[in-house]
Amino acid sequence: MAKYIVIMKGFGEGCDYTIGCNMSYEVMESDKSLADFANEMAGTVTDPSEYSDPGVKKLIVVPYDAAIIPDLGPFRKQHQDAREAEKAREQEVKDRKKLEELKKKYGG
């Protein structure tokens, strides 16, 4: 049985296009080929209704095995380390400024 990632994008952008509203995905299994499964899914697509169904504007079916799912841990650590280094630099600037003020006030 093959696994597929089914991505559906509705009409319009939803709440805010920058965060992917009005989009959904689901991992599904099927004994069918990619083409047959994609055609089967296309047959389930709905048009917008005046009630609650936003309809599907675009349907993408991808073999799950083709998906690359990177480990985000190292990237998150790299970003966290960079933020901490920036905070440390900002604190050093504040500390040096305070030191200069104290030197002026008390001599140094």
DSSP string, 28-85: EEESS-HHHHHHHHHTT-----SSS----SEEEEEEGGG------HHHHHHHHHHHHH
| pTM score over 0.75 | no
What is the structure's pLDDT at 52?
61
* Percent of the residues in the chain that have a pLDDT greater than 70, as a whole number: 82
Distance, first Cα to last Cα, the chain: 77
What is the structure's pLDDT at 107?
82
Per residue in 65-99, pLDDT (tens digit) is 887 778 889 999 999 999 999 999 999 999 999 99
Residue in 34, 25, 49 with CA at minimum distance from that of residue 2:
34
Q: For residue 45, is pLDDT > 60?
A: yes
- For 30, 49, 79, 83, 106, the CA distances from 88, given in Å and listed in that order, are 53, 54, 14, 9, 26
Residue 2's pLDDT band, with cuts at 50, 70 and 90, is: very high
- Rounded CA separation 107/100 (Å): 10
Going 78 to 80 to 86 to 92, the CA torsion angle's sign is: negative
Residue 107, classed as helix, strand or coil, is coil
Across the chain, what does the average pLDDT equal? Answer: 85
